[in-house]
Structure 1
Amino acid sequence: MVSENNGTAPQADSRPRILVAEDNPSNYKLVEVLLRRDYALLHAWDGAEAVELFRAQGADLVLMDISMPVMDGYEALAKIRESDPALPVIALTAYAFEADRQRMFEAGFDDCLAKPLRADVLRTKIAHYLASE
């Protein structure tokens, strides 16, 4: 199920919109707690829902888990890039080895953050990419 978790209609919310593709409820809850005050959040439980939600509502930035059911983060990224090649997309992953990071950059992610996420790093990265638009 695709859900919007910011409590307001997207048209009425002027905050930057971040699409969070995350299948783990506790990981999403952490992101939500860290970001909901400053950003309008859209949540997809898997990569296919992320693509569907992006096409339906758009986003200013995407936080994309790599390992998800139905469609992984790499495939979802490729489909989103077909619609918007310049959209900032940050990978969220438990796979923090240099080879994994290299694969993410080669796939077209703008950046990647290792789980568990650090609040200060997450906020700084998001602010950087939204300011670059």
Structure 2
Amino acid sequence: MKKSILVVDDDNMNLARTQIILGKEYDVLTAESGMDALMRLRDTKVDMVLLDIDMPEMNGIETFERMKGFAPEIPVIFLTASGLEEDVVSAIKLGAVNYLKKPYRPQELLKRISQEFEAR
């Protein structure tokens, strides 16, 4: 049975690209906002979350904080275009397992996901 990954990003092109990269090896679910992600996580079993930091209304950090209230066991890898060191530091301090700066190489994303699943 394939592991499932929820990809959260407000950019439809990023969602589509990530779904293409991961679709052969994983069941990929998508969410276009933090609120959408939280609703999906309450209704669906997910093995990992790829979470964009910079989103309108509820950013990735806030989404992660809320998610930890009911699904703290799900590993989160942050995807960020911002490159702001404080965003990355905040994410890691909150318990994110890793992060990847956009745009990323497909092989690098697959490698990081695989490493996290192997470590569990």
**Range into which the TM-score falls when normalised by the shorter chain:** over 0.9
Cα distance in 2 for partners of 1:38, 1:64 equals 19
Structure 1, unpaired ranges of 5+: 1-13
Whether 1:46 and 2:46 are equivalent positions in the alignment is no
Partner amino acid, structure 2, of 1:94 = A
1:32 counterpart residue number: 19
Say which of 105, 109, 120 aligns to 1:118: 105
| Cα displacement (A) at 1:25 | 1.0
Structure 2 length-normalised TM: 0.92
Structure 1 length-normalised TM: 0.84
Give the number of equivalent residue pairs.
120
Whether 1:78 and 2:65 are equivalent positions in the alignment is yes
| Cα displacement (A) at 1:108 | 2.4
Structure 2, unpaired ranges of 5+: none
Cα distance in 1 for partners of 2:88, 2:52 equals 13
Cα distance in 2 for partners of 1:72, 1:102 equals 15
Percent identity among equivalent residues?
32
Whether 1:89 and 2:80 are equivalent positions in the alignment is no
1:69 counterpart residue number: 56
Whether 1:17 and 2:15 are equivalent positions in the alignment is no
CA contact (8 A) 2:10 2:33 kept: yes
CA RMSD between the two structures: 1.3
Cα distance in 1 for partners of 2:84, 2:45 equals 31
1:129 counterpart residue number: 116
CA contact (8 A) 2:8 2:31 kept: yes
CA contact (8 A) 2:54 2:82 kept: no
| Cα displacement (A) at 1:64 | 0.2
Partner amino acid, structure 2, of 1:16 = K
Larger radius of gyration: 1
